[in-house]
Amino acid sequence: MPEVAANVPDLDAPDVVTKGGASAVYVAPAWKLTWWRFRKHKLALVSLWVVVLITAIAAMPEFFATQDPNTTSARHAFIPPQTIQFVHEGRPAMPFAYGVVGQRDPRTLRMEWAIDTEVRYPVRLFARGFEYRLLGLIPTDRHLIGFAGASGTDIPNLLGTDRLGRDQWSRLTYGTRISLSIGLVAVALSTVLGILLGGISGYFGGLVDNVIQRLIELLQALPPIPVWLALSAALPRTWPVTWVYFAITVILALLGWTRLAREVRGRFLSLREEDFVLAARLVGASRARVIFSHMVPSFTSHIIAATTLAIPLMILNETFLSFLGLGMRPPAISWGVMLQESQNLQSVVNAPWLMIPGLFVIVTVLALNILGDGLRDAADPYSS
């Protein structure tokens, strides 16, 4: 068994405990140790806050939005971003946004928008706006930010408007809800499937294991996007938004569980061979006790990390599908649906801000990936 021998630690190597005082290390529970190690990873800590913020937006997009995301106004199409300003005529000022004026180009007949420095809308925190129910429960009309003196189509568009004159920032907040939750739900489904099948595979071994492993290999060998596309193309066009939503998550989970199942199985197999599991068995612990009080605690952290790393993949996949027009469909709003507006060079050249949702995708995926890596490293007691 060369593998075993190769893993024998160098007995002469000086071992070292983690920071935090040697005496404290020995009594700290596992989750605390994980947290200590995680805290050392600065980038992961920052990512955690980014993820918290994005989750907050997903939970209450109405609060963060400044306008109704579905209000269209063809006359106000393609307004460039009216970002919040802190300087007016070279002097610092309280935060405000400029108004815009539109002029139709007589030749191309397109509206050309310009910043109007005469009109200023001061930023107000917790301002009144359209009415909604916070978290679906509390009726209110307060929003994180609002603009004094602006109403209707005058309200500054922080990230500009799209082809139909809809406010991009408000659409983004709503899109965050769908994109993030699709990722979460699809990963939750994959996790259940993955843990179930991976656990069965790893625990029983033998024929069952073989069948499941071959199935996984087969599914992994399929080019995912074409298969997803084909499956979502099969969804009836007449389905309501919520049905499509759940169908898409199921479709994503259908190919997504294999990775997690592999992970779980691998963990199960290696844990089964661990000395502490053997020791527990030798002192006469019941099968249930061995599994639930010895094996499960030592791999939940890995499952959490693996799950965190699976979410960004799902988000990217939803974006791909919706971008190609076969995922979520309007009137539903998701990052992919929004990016569909920028599908060709022409629209990107005319209105580059239509690519901003992509920035959200990148930041979210980046933060989740770094967070997942941080968690994984922290969960591994043997990493340095």
Residue 22 and residue 161: Cα distance in Å, rounded? 57
H helical segments located in the chain: 2-6, 22-27, 30-40, 42-59, 61-64, 168-204, 206-221, 224-233, 241-272, 275-282, 287-289, 296-323, 335-339, 345-350, 356-379
Residue 182 and residue 82: Cα distance in Å, rounded? 30
Q: Is 234 in the site for another protein (CB under 8 A)?
A: yes
Residue 137 burial (CB count, 10 A): 7
Residue number, 285 or 366, with CB nearest to another protein: 366
Q: Is 342 in the site for another protein (CB under 8 A)?
A: yes
Report the sign of the C-alpha dihedral through residues 183, 186, 192, 193, in that order.
negative
Q: C-beta of 83: minimal distance to another protein in Å? A: 20
> With CB under 8 A as the contact rule, which of the stretches 93-101, 146-154, 192-200, 318-326 interacts with another protein?
318-326
Q: Is 26 in the site for another protein (CB under 8 A)?
A: no
Nearest residue to 317 (alpha-carbon basis) of 189, 235, 226:
226
Distances (CA, A) of 254 to 52, 194, 231, 261, 352: 28, 10, 10, 12, 35
Q: Is 224 in the site for another protein (CB under 8 A)?
A: yes
Residue 347 and residue 349: Cα distance in Å, rounded? 5
Residue number, 80 or 122, with CB nearest to another protein: 80
Q: Is 187 in the site for another protein (CB under 8 A)?
A: no
Q: Is 135 in the site for another protein (CB under 8 A)?
A: no
Name residues contacting another protein, limited to 253-292 (CB under 8 A). none
Q: C-beta of 246: minimal distance to another protein in Å? A: 17
Q: C-beta of 363: minimal distance to another protein in Å? A: 8
> With CB under 8 A as the contact rule, which of the stretches 29-37, 129-137, 142-150, 356-364 interacts with another protein?
356-364
Footprint on this chain of another protein (rule: CB under 8 A): 2, 5-6, 8, 10-19, 22, 218, 220-227, 229-231, 233-234, 236, 312, 316, 319-320, 323-326, 339, 342-345, 348-349, 352, 355, 358, 361-363, 365-366, 369-370
